[in-house]
Amino acid sequence: GAVVSQHPSRVICKSGTSVKIECRSLDFQATTMFWYRQFPKQSLMLMATSNEGSKATYEQGVEKDKFLINHASLTLSTLTVTSAHPEDSSFYICSARLAGGPNNEQFFGPGTRLTVL
């Protein structure tokens, strides 16, 4: 099956620093990748939709200047949390949709646990 990786799996940073999270589709091309945020004991909330070669589409309430998304190739999307604060601590999960694939199926990465001190 299609595999999506995320790096790093865990990151701890100081308040005010920026953190970059990578999402890669390992064995398929993904024209669209999605970034989700999950707080403890809660569901996944879509943050943004990332389309290769174009600007990301952010969900309402998500600050695009704080959560920078780049989708420079068909196999890589990055999420940069700028000037991170403790309230940004969360589990960030990406998913990728198979280019030309049927049925809207998304393949999920293993997630990145961000802790901001």
Partner 1 sequence: AQSVTQLGSHVSVSEGALVLLRCNYSSSVPPYLFWYVQYPNQGLQLLLKYTTGATLVKGINGFEAEFKKSETSFHLTKPSAHMSDAAEYFCAVSAAPGSARQLTFGSGTQLTVLP
Residue ranges that bind partner 1, judged by CB under 8 A: 4, 6, 34, 41-44, 46, 49, 57, 91, 93, 95, 97, 102-111, 113
Nearer to partner 1, 13 or 44 (CB): 44
Tokens 């799996």 appear where?
9
Nearer to partner 1, 75 or 109 (CB): 109
**Do the bridges between strand 30-38 and strand 44-51 make them parallel or antiparallel, or are there none, so unpaired?**
antiparallel
CB of 16 to partner 1, least distance (A): 26
Task: Give the span between the Cα atoms of 22 and 101, in whole angstroms.
Answer: 22
Task: Give the span between the Cα atoms of 116 and 114, in whole angstroms.
Answer: 6
CB of 109 to partner 1, least distance (A): 5
Nearer to partner 1, 5 or 18 (CB): 5
Task: Give the span between the Cα atoms of 9 and 51, in whole angstroms.
Answer: 23
